[in-house]
Structure 1
Amino acid sequence: MRLALGQVLYKQLRNAATTSEEKKEDKDSWVVVIQQNFELYNPSAYHTKLAKRSIYKWPNDLVVASDFIWYHTPQLASFGPYHHGKKHLQPMEHHKERALYRILKRSKASLSNFVNSLRQVEQELSDSYDDLDHQLSSYPFLKMMLLDGCFILELLLSDGQPNENSSDTYEPIFRTDGKLTNTVAFQDMLLLENQIPLLVLRKLLEVVERREIKDDAYLDCLICNFYEFKSMPIDRPGLHVLDVYRKCLIMDSTTEEQTTPSVGFIKSVFLQCEPWLYAISQGIKRILLAIPILVFRLLSKQISKPGNMRSAMRFHEAGIEFKKGNNSGLKISFDEKHGVLTLPYISIEDHTAAIYMNLMAFERMHPKIQNHEVTTYISFMDDLIDTAEDVSLLCSRGIVRNLLGSDEDAAKVFNKLGDGMTFTPDEELYEDLQSYVASDWNAARAYLKRNYFQNPWSILSLLAAIALLLLTFIQTLFSVLAVTKGK
């Protein structure tokens, strides 16, 4: 009995020791795994993979900061794998198949030609996506690229005119005036998570046109025309529709070289002397304007120096004039000499906030974008527009076109665009503006112009007051001189 009891105790102690050793090995197993991964780690492999990416998911902090889910979620059609298969997007799958059938019928090419063309670049297409589900097999991925690519291509090729077939008269999608075209184009095709590589469209076009296409110039023009941009060459190959839209938006179309015609001798001399004449005229203008400003300062309360002004109304009160830019992309410039701030034209619609939010998210996520032009522009406009009065002022200058219910709604659009975004302001522009509005001279001149030079009667009354003051001063001076001579 004692022997059996001893054997049981021995087995229990041995099992306990074995379990302890196994637990220790389990605790240290992660160390072994990390060591093995470290030995296999290749930094260049990560950067090579990163360089191939162009389509991203929204960062989680932006998803949390944004109150509107349609900023990053398609409403009618999914493009690419991130939102593919969602229930509310299924009705549009029928129209994707229709797009494929339309292209097949028009091109008279076989379906296998389209599939084989995409299969040749399948790996490159899958590498374009960040955080792609590895469980997605080849067959559904190629089918998705084919149907999505045909749908977008058929949209871009739509000319708004019905075909000879009378059934196209009621076409809801593949016409520029289709009932659903605008929603798909502006709310779904311009979402960061809802993109397919432009390479898909190029490979499909090669099959349709039966020739090799070496660049995306034709596709770039199709996308620019589709979104009513002026057709212009894109400096670098486009990655997807959102990328081409951004390039069209920020591109400066006024940088073309212009030849200067020859001028005569007298005109050339005048042009050389023009800077001096301008300086002299400005000096005379300052002298003439200094008199009423001096009188104004003597007769009225002291003007307080403007502080850290940013809103449009406060800039306007400080004497800054607003001017609409002319085909200069998103370029903002300030002429400190004349106090003129030039801003690009922008139309505020229901989809405006979603488009700019996705453009800024793309600039943040894509490592090859060095200059965040859209983010810088929105950063400035967010500071410039605080209230409905700011929107009203910019609308009156032709800079903003408000298609929303009220100016207050338009102001909320810009204020909402700042949620979760890391802005990159143009420090040089801010410094020039603050330097201008901090000037006593500019502040006094702006106040005088705003309160006394708005209509002829106020100007006449001010001139009369100045003349009366001068006459009083002259009369007093002569009286003093007469008393002095009498002594």
Structure 2
Amino acid sequence: MRDLMLFENQLPFFVLCTLYDLIEVPDQHSRLSHLLFKFFSVLYPGKGYKELGTVDPLKHLLDFIHCSWLPPPNVSGSGGGRKDRKLDKMVRFINSAKRLEEANVKFEKSEEEMMFNVGFKEGVMVMAPLTIEDRTESFLRSLIAYEQYFQHNFVTDYVKFLDCIIDSSKDVEILSRRGIIENWLGDENEVAEMVNKLSESVSGPGKDFVYANMFEDVNKHCGRRWNRWMANLRKNYFYNPWTIISVLVALVLLLLTFTQTVFTILHVV
């Protein structure tokens, strides 16, 4: 299955159709499409795949898999139904899941949305489940290679998005705890390394970056004074249980001192 998906192993799709005609009833290519879809559908790591009704315009097998996963034209990464604009400036990437959580961003799992439709609204990022197992890396890498050659972008942009929010095992743990990542590899660090390696040697976001608006919304949210203050507070004082206890003890002592001072002043008066 992995060998059939490799970009360098692709044969023109009409060759596959001709070979199929030799062993089945000729010109029944919709049946070939059905068999291929059933065979490869186990590889898709998230929702969105659909069975194709025709194979006529397809270039090769990898093109078939890519088209079977192609999101609908109205898919948007902004979370508000807006169509993402063409970029007139460099994309400012978003922080990792841990840093976003520190800045009051909450993560929620969506069962209804297709995998590529990441929503962000009022400080909540909604993501569909993503299953990561042994074959996920080769599957995504093959589709990225295809997109880099044929100038598509939706899988590549999604992987760029994942590379932003997953920087370490702590980020994988956060997303797994929310039910967004189904980690079949078992090791959170292995998942983080896999995601980070997928973006190596891949060109940056193009002018039609799928998540441009969503990135802008997230950065605006994190840039607000209250969220910035909360992020700094959590980073500097609430990064482990002992510092939290120390801060709470200090607050209690401050409150007791203040109470004692008030009672002393009242007693004198």
TM-score range, shorter chain: 0.5 to 0.7
Deviation at 1:375, TM superposition (A): 0.8
Deviation at 1:244, TM superposition (A): 2.0
Deviation at 1:432, TM superposition (A): 0.8
Matches within 5 A, 1:150-229: 185=1, 187-213=2-28, 216-226=29-39, 227-228=41-42
The answer to whether 1:427 aligns with 2:208 is no
Deviation at 1:412, TM superposition (A): 0.5
CA distances 1:328-377 after superposition (whole Å, capped 9, x unpaired): 14222212x2x1212232222223222212211111112xx4x4101101
Would you say the 8 A contact 2:141–2:198 is kept in 1? yes
The answer to whether 1:437 aligns with 2:222 is yes
Give the whole-Å Cα distance in 2 for the aligned partners of 1:432 and 1:408. Answer: 28
Higher helix content, 1 or 2? 1
Give the whole-Å Cα distance in 1 for the aligned partners of 2:53 and 2:107. Answer: 30
Query: Do the aligned partners of residues 352 and 435 (structure 1) sit closer, same or farther apart at CA in structure 2, a change above 3 Å counting?
Result: same
Matched residue SS, 2:8: coil
Deviation at 1:197, TM superposition (A): 2.3
CA distances 1:425-473 after superposition (whole Å, capped 9, x unpaired): 533221111001111234567879xx8xxxxxxxxx9xxx9xx9xxx9x
Give the whole-Å Cα distance in 2 for the aligned partners of 1:441 and 1:409. Answer: 34
Given candidates 103, 118, 127, the residue that maps to 1:343 is 127
Would you say the 8 A contact 1:254–1:328 is kept in 2? no
Unaligned 5+ runs, structure 1: 1-184, 256-306, 452-460, 480-487
Identical-residue share of aligned pairs (%): 29
Matched residue SS, 2:98: helix
Give the whole-Å Cα distance in 2 for the aligned partners of 1:328 and 1:387. Answer: 25
Matches within 5 A, 1:270-309: none
Matched residue SS, 1:322: strand
Structure whose alpha-carbon radius of gyration is higher: 1
Would you say the 8 A contact 1:249–1:330 is kept in 2? no
Give the match for residue 390 of structure 1: 171
Structure 2 counterpart of 1:384, one-letter code: I
Query: Do the aligned partners of residues 308 and 205 (structure 1) sit closer, same or farther apart at CA in structure 2, a change above 3 Å counting?
Result: closer
Instruction: Output the TM-score relative to the length of structure 2.
Output: 0.67
The answer to whether 1:311 aligns with 2:85 is no
Give the match for residue 187 of structure 2: 406
Unaligned 5+ runs, structure 2: 76-91, 239-247
The answer to whether 1:321 aligns with 2:110 is no
Would you say the 8 A contact 1:325–1:342 is kept in 2? yes
Give the whole-Å Cα distance in 1 for the aligned partners of 2:110 and 2:33. Answer: 24
Q: How many residues align?
A: 217
Given candidates 418, 429, 432, the residue that maps to 2:199 is 418
RMSD: 3.7
Deviation at 1:221, TM superposition (A): 3.0
Would you say the 8 A contact 2:93–2:164 is kept in 1? no
Deviation at 1:224, TM superposition (A): 2.4
Query: Do the aligned partners of residues 325 and 393 (structure 1) sit closer, same or farther apart at CA in structure 2, a change above 3 Å counting?
Result: same
Would you say the 8 A contact 2:110–2:126 is kept in 1? yes
Deviation at 1:245, TM superposition (A): 1.8
Give the match for residue 331 of structure 1: 117
Give the whole-Å Cα distance in 1 for the aligned partners of 2:175 and 2:102. Answer: 14
Given candidates 234, 237, 240, the residue that maps to 2:60 is 240
Give the whole-Å Cα distance in 1 for the aligned partners of 2:31 and 2:94. Answer: 46
Give the whole-Å Cα distance in 2 for the aligned partners of 1:311 and 1:234. Answer: 39
Query: Do the aligned partners of residues 309 and 199 (structure 1) sit closer, same or farther apart at CA in structure 2, a change above 3 Å counting?
Result: closer
